[in-house]
Every structure is written in structure tokens, then in C-alpha cells.
Amino acid sequence: MGRKRLTPEEIAKKAPEKSFDDDITGIDDAPISKPITANTQRLYDRRWSLWVEYTKTHPSANPHDMQTAKHFVEFLACGAEGVDSDKPNVSSVRMYWSQFVSAWNRQTSNPISKEATELITYYIQDHLQKKLALTLACEVALDPI
């Protein structure tokens, strides 16, 4: 037949008996990030350091601002090299943007939304690809920026 289902009142009575602490003050409201590998952390740190470098000449930069985000991905694209050319491919620039967003979201309490991330991805795939003549081939950048 199975176990008897406890009522909410019974659960509330039993929880403290099993070490439930009703005091919420010892719990912070910080988001919990998925654990990542050391290599992924290294990539995130690299993107973060590029953001720090970018802000030296753009001190009021904010990646939540579309104009800034577009300008920053152009900075990333122009600083990278491809395998067969002096330009990276679209996939590499998208990867750099994604890594930056992940780094930003881990480093700050003001995450970049999925919608904004997606809009910049479309910008890379279309406008930036045409503007910088980025390759569409499936190559990997020689020296990831």
C-alpha cells in the first residue's frame, strides 16, 4: 500500500526534529552557479580581463547597454585571429561573447539577460560578420583572445 502521506502540519512539526533551523538570517540570497572546470574558469578569466582592458578606454561601459555590447564584441572580434586568416570566424566570436556573459554573470550581481545575449549573438552572425568580413567556416581561432 505505501507510506502514509504526512499532512503539512505534521511536516512542520517534524522538520525541527530533523535539524531544520527556522532562522533564515544565516542564508544569503546570492545566486548559485553551476561548478565549472579549471579550463573553463581560465577562459572566463580571460574574457573578464579583456572587459577590464576595454573599460580602461570606456570607463562608463555597461554590457547591458546594446551599443556598448555591440562595440565590445567588435573589440573581441578585432582582437582575435583565425587559423587561415587574420580574422576569426563567426562561431569563435559567438563563443567569446558567450564566455564573457558567463564570466560577467558570475562576477556581478546584475546578470546579462538571455534575451540580450541572444540579440548580440544575432548581431554577430549578421551585422558584425558583414562589417568585418568574418569567415563562416568551422575553424577554431589560433590564439583565443
User: Which domains does the chain show, CATH number per domain?
Assistant: 36-132 (1.10.150)
Q: Kindly indicate the confidence band of residue 86, based on its pLDDT and cuts at 50, 70 and 90.
A: confident
Give me 37's grid cell.
572546470
- Round the average pLDDT of the chain to a whole number and report it: 90
pLDDT of residue 143: 47
Residue with cell 550581481: 109
Rounded to 5 degrees, φ, ψ at 61 are: -60, 140
Residue with cell 570606456: 58
Q: What is the mean pLDDT of residues 68-89?
A: 90
Give me 82's grid cell.
583565425
Q: Is 135 helix (H, G, I), strand (E, B) or coil?
A: strand
Q: Is 37 helix (H, G, I), strand (E, B) or coil?
A: coil
Q: What is the mean pLDDT of residues 104-109?
A: 92
Q: Is 96 helix (H, G, I), strand (E, B) or coil?
A: helix
Residue with cell 582582437: 79
- DSSP-assigned beta bridge partners for residue 89: 135
More confident residue, 30 or 98: 98
Q: What is the mean pLDDT of residues 89-106?
A: 96
